[in-house]
Amino acid sequence: MRLINTLVLLMVATASGWTASPDFYGHWADGKAEISSYRVVQPRYREERAGYGVMIFVTEDMNRNTMIKMESPTPKEDRLYVLKLNNVLKFTTGIYDYSVMTSVFSAVEGNKGNTPFELVKVNLSSQEWCGHVFDEARVVDNRLEGELNSYFEREGKHRYSLDLPSGFENEDHLLIRIRELKGPIMVSGESRDISLMRSLWSIRTRHRPHSLVSGKVSKGSTEAISVGEDAYQVIPWTVSTEGWERRIWVEEAYPHRIVKWEDSEGGSGELIKTVRAPYWSMKKDTDLVHRDHLGIPR
């Protein structure tokens, strides 16, 4: 029976363009974060701005009642093990610069629906010389409950609430989902209709209300690409809505890093370097050398 199950798993993996991976916990529960740096082009004010990005993936325990990282003794039933993505974006517009970070919290073994990698919470902070903004949305009983705090008068401080239909996807959360860290979620060549919430950064730059739009997510077949001097075997993914498309190339080999992305508005990113390290302890002046290793400015 075990041999049959193994053969079935291999057949599904081959059809999906995904190869058998190491145990999730064997890789991710090692007390380190995965830190990947990127060369980024970010359109803003009708010009393409050169910048850099850093994606930090790390596991941690969250209090399932407060949806906040735990730092004190907490009963097991109140713990929720999540994979967190801190997605950092830095770029300059003329005299002033932007500093943006989006944090995504994904329940590794599921939350209410018991499906691996369910979205729990997503938030964004954006700072530039005019002011700063904080936007946070939490999944509560099949609804997305959010609150926006903005320096713009027309936005100010307000709450929003969205029903989450079957097929809901969040663009920020898809950067975790399409890595397929606990096995394939789609097979190669498959496309699905989805109800998409665009990234909080996209909503921010357009100053539009939070909403769901009809979209599609598609998984391609393995192909070879070059990024800088490095060659990769990748699986291309496409996320699209009417008038907009984003392509993301995910490394075929585990742990399926985000290698490259492009969108129809001129935005793009290319992987520079990845390290695994407990970055929270690397805060001395002598640790500045690690920024050089990642290829990001001091």
Contact indicator for 128, 97 with CB cutoff of 8 Å = yes
pLDDT of residue 113: 66
* pLDDT for residue 7: 36
- For the chain, residues with pLDDT lower than 50 are 1-20
Give the domain range for residue 199.
2-294
pLDDT at residue number 3: 35
What count of other Cβ atoms lies within 10 Å of the Cβ of residue 161?
11
> What does the pLDDT look like over 141-177, one tens digit per residue?
899 999 999 998 888 899 999 999 999 999 999 999 9
Find all residues with CB under 8 Å of 275, minimum gap 6, and list them.
34, 35, 290, 293, 294
Query: For residue 255, is the peptide bond before it cis, meaning its omega torsion is within 30 degrees of 0?
Result: yes
N-term to C-term CA, the chain: 55
Tokens of 141: 């009983």
Please name which of 146, 183, 156 lies closest in space to residue 15, comparing C-alpha atoms. Answer: 183
pLDDT of residue 22: 63
Structure tokens, 153:
């008068």
The string of pLDDT tens digits covering residues 273-291 is 999 999 999 999 999 999 9
| Distance of alpha carbon 104 from alpha carbon 60, whole angstroms | 12
pLDDT score for 154 = 84
Cα–Cα–Cα angle for 30, 34, 37, rounded to 5 degrees: 165
66 Rama class: left (phi>0) / alpha (psi -120 to 50) / beta: alpha
- What one-character-per-residue DSSP string does 94-132 give? TTEEEEEEEEEEEETT-SSS--SSEEEEEEEEEEETTEE
pLDDT at 13: 44
Q: b/e string for 66-95 if b means 16 or more Cβ within 10 A?
A: ebeeeeeebeeeeebebbbbebbbbbeeee
Number of domains present in the structure of the chain: 1
Q: Which residues, 6 or more positions from 234, have their beta carbon under 8 angstroms from its beta carbon? A: 222, 223, 224, 225, 249, 250, 251, 252, 259, 260
